[in-house]
Amino acid sequence: MPSRPELTAPPEFFYNEEEARKYTTSSRIIEIQGKLTERALELLALPDDGVPRLLLDIGCGSGLSGETLSEKEHHWIGLDISKSMLDVALEREVDGDLLLADMGQGLTLRPGVIDGAISISAVQWLCNADKSSNEPRLRLKAFFGSLYRCLTRGARAVLQLYPENEAQLEMITASAMRSGFAGGVVVDFPHSTRAKKYFLVLTCGPPSLSSALPKAKSEDGESCSDDSDSDEENKTVSISDRRRPRKKQKVNKKGKGREWVVKKKEQMRKKGHSVPPDTKYTARKRKAHF
């Protein structure tokens, strides 16, 4: 398997029946999926009150990550674009409800019904323009906009991904922020080439003290410290808030006053223009004509 399967073929074709079964029976992949899902749940920071939540598993595949959600006694909905992957999930009789859908077309879920969302190794597929009609920025906009709408206010989404480069990570993060999310990127094991993992941790709604991002994990498995001497890469990075571009303020051309008019007339005279002399009527207020 190439290191970046999204560059090989669209996901609905890459994860055919053969690849789906190979993926699901690999002990290495099963172990990795389990660890990544547990970490995503940790970053999701659900209330520890013993109440099961309704979670969304985006790019659920054959249900490997969903098994971890079921073990934690949560209800979940799994969404994937590969029919072959979902067929394997049905054969395995996973506990979640399954949807065949393209997340790049938006999530067709009712507003405000999801208590949290996770995604393991799926979001980077949205950046691959495998068709002339698949513009990555538009697909990201549709995905994050619909994800924001279906989450309850204050809920989190934790998206583990493998960005191809910094520019791609920035594009994904910026799209999430434009959709209304607050949050940022947590990088676990930042100094390890093989173990480094990126988690985009998003909060639905304005940031608050309770929505502060957790610390990343270092190579020893512990949370990175806040000491000023520690390497910046060991910490949570790219923390951002929702930012909307400010609307341009309209310039009020009325009421500039006599002083402004006299000054402008003087500037015009210095440039050699013919300007009427200043009188007591200069810049006077005129009655409105109807």
Structural domain includes residue 147: yes
Q: Indicate the average pLDDT of the chain.
A: 84
Range of the domain at 200: 5-240
d(CA 167, CA 10): 21
Structural domain includes residue 262: no
Over residues 98-112, the mean pLDDT reads 94
Give ∠ CA 10-15-19 in degrees, rounded to 5.
Answer: 145
Which of the residue ranges 23-27, 115-119, 225-229, 267-271 would you say has the lowest mean pLDDT?
225-229
**Residue 192 is encoded by which pair of tokens?**
């390890």
Over residues 266-277, the mean pLDDT reads 88
Which of the residue ranges 93-102, 133-142, 226-235, 238-247 would you say has the lowest mean pLDDT?
226-235
Q: What is the CA radius of gyration of the chain?
A: 27
What does the pLDDT look like over 190-249, one tens digit per residue? 888 888 999 999 999 765 545 566 677 776 656 654 443 444 444 444 444 444 455 555
Structural domain includes residue 136: yes
Q: What is the pLDDT of residue 9?
A: 76
Asked if the model's pLDDT at residue 140 lies above 90, the reply is yes
Q: How many CA atoms lie within 13 A of 158 on its CB side?
A: 25
**Residue 269 is encoded by which pair of tokens?**
């005279």
What does the pLDDT look like over 53-90, one tens digit per residue? 999 999 999 999 999 999 999 999 999 999 999 999 99
Structural domain includes residue 278: no
Which of the residue ranges 91-105, 152-166, 275-289 would you say has the lowest mean pLDDT?
275-289
3-state secondary structure the chain: CCCCHHHCCCHHHHCCHHHHHHHHHCHHHHHHHHHHHHHHHHHHCCCCCCCCCEEEEECCCCCHHHHHHHHCCCEEEEEECCHHHHHHHHHCCCCCEEEECCHHHCCCCCCCCEEEEEEECCHHHHHCCCCCCCCHHHHHHHHHHHHHHHEEEEEEEEEEECCCCHHHHHHHHHHHHHCCEEEEEEEECCCCCCCCEEEEEEEECCCCHHHCCCCCECCCCCECCCCCCCCHHHCCEEEECCCCCCCCCCCCCCCCHHHHHHHHHHHHHHCCCCCCCCCCCCCCCCCCCC
Calculate the dihedral angle through the C-alpha atoms of 232, 165, 174, 61, rounding to the nearest 10 degrees.
-110
Query: What's the CATH code of the domain at 163?
Result: 3.40.50.150
Q: What is the pLDDT of residue 132?
A: 63
Asked if the model's pLDDT at residue 155 lies above 60, the reply is yes
CB burial class (10 A; 0-12, 13-18, 19+) of residue 209?
Answer: exposed
Structural domain includes residue 253: no
d(CA 3, CA 185): 22
Q: What is the pLDDT of residue 234?
A: 43
Structural domain includes residue 126: yes
Asked if the model's pLDDT at residue 93 lies above 80, the reply is yes
194 versus 253: the higher-pLDDT residue is 194
- Tell whether pTM > 0.85: no
Structural domain includes residue 264: no
Residues above pLDDT 90, as percent of the chain: 55
C-alpha pair distances (Å), 154 with each of 28, 56, 116, 139, 232: 35, 15, 9, 24, 28
Structural domain count, the chain? 1
Structural domain includes residue 186: yes
Asked if the model's pLDDT at residue 8 lies above 80, the reply is no
